[in-house]
Amino acid sequence: MKPTVRSPRRALTIIAVALLALVSAACGSDSDDGGSDGAVDMSIFGQAPEAGSVERGDGSEPLPPFDRGGADTARGRQAPEVTGAGFTGDPVTIGSPGKAHVVVFLAHWCPHCQAEVPRIVEHLESNPLPDDVDLFGVATSTVSNRPNFPPSEWLERESWTFPTIDDADNTVQAQFGLTGFPFFAAIDAEGVVVARGSGELTTAQFDVLVEAARTGALPA
């Protein structure tokens, strides 16, 4: 099943091709927990847009490309509605009505994704997600001659059991404005984007993202 989204097909194709050229060489970065006082480094989530500058919309348009060093103008916008297929062909819909969720975009060949997946899996074994937050994966930018192909086998080895879309044509990543790997999006229970981030997250940063999805706001 090919991922379906509520936006014009031609525009999506153009965006997907342009972003693929960018993200193919952009495999995230390491992250740290922040300063010596133990505060979590929030810079990985970009900056808040100017108050009143973002229109919510209806989710039919792709989110703008994420700029880690600038204002994230996707915050406050309605997230795209996406349905695709998992690795076995079963349908996967990102998000459920009235339930917050976090989406993780992964490339099988990216070393930072290879580090992030087991970190999240191990962390959630002892720190389960809240009942009112779901986690979804999107396996994207798949290249058959690069390490850990196919991504289905890689994720199975890492005990990744969360619902995951096989984004073979990069449609979903284009919808979410991905600019590097791993890439994250936190969506609240009303389907509104609360935060995005690009690069490896520490477990503390991941917890911040989950809580942001649950509450509808990043901590000040």
Dump pLDDT digits (tens) for 51-87: 889 999 999 999 999 998 899 999 999 999 999 999 9
pLDDT, mean of residues 150-158: 98
CATH code assigned at 154: 3.40.30.10
Q: What value, to the nearest 5°, has the Cα angle with vertex 197 and ends 192 and 198?
A: 140
Strand blocks (E) in the chain: 4-5, 82-85, 91-94, 100-106, 133-140, 164-167, 183-187, 193-198
**DSSP code for 40:** -
Residue 220 domain-assigned (yes or no) = no
Residue 196 domain-assigned (yes or no) = yes
Is residue 33's pLDDT more than 90?
no
Is residue 29's pLDDT more than 80?
no
Distance (Å) of CA 97 to CA 125, 132, 133, 189: 26, 11, 12, 7
Phi, psi values for residue 193, rounded to 5°: -70, 125
Task: Determine the Cα–Cα distance for residues 64 and 92; give it in Å rounded to an integer.
Answer: 23
Residue 27 domain-assigned (yes or no) = yes
- pTM here is 0.86
- Say if CB 32 and CB 202 are below 8 A apart: yes
Strand blocks (E) in 47-182: 82-85, 91-94, 100-106, 133-140, 164-167
Domains: count for the chain: 1
Q: Containing domain of residue 64, as a range?
A: 4-215
Task: Tell me the pLDDT band of 114, cut-offs 50, 70 and 90.
Answer: very high
Task: Tell me the pLDDT band of 111, cut-offs 50, 70 and 90.
Answer: very high
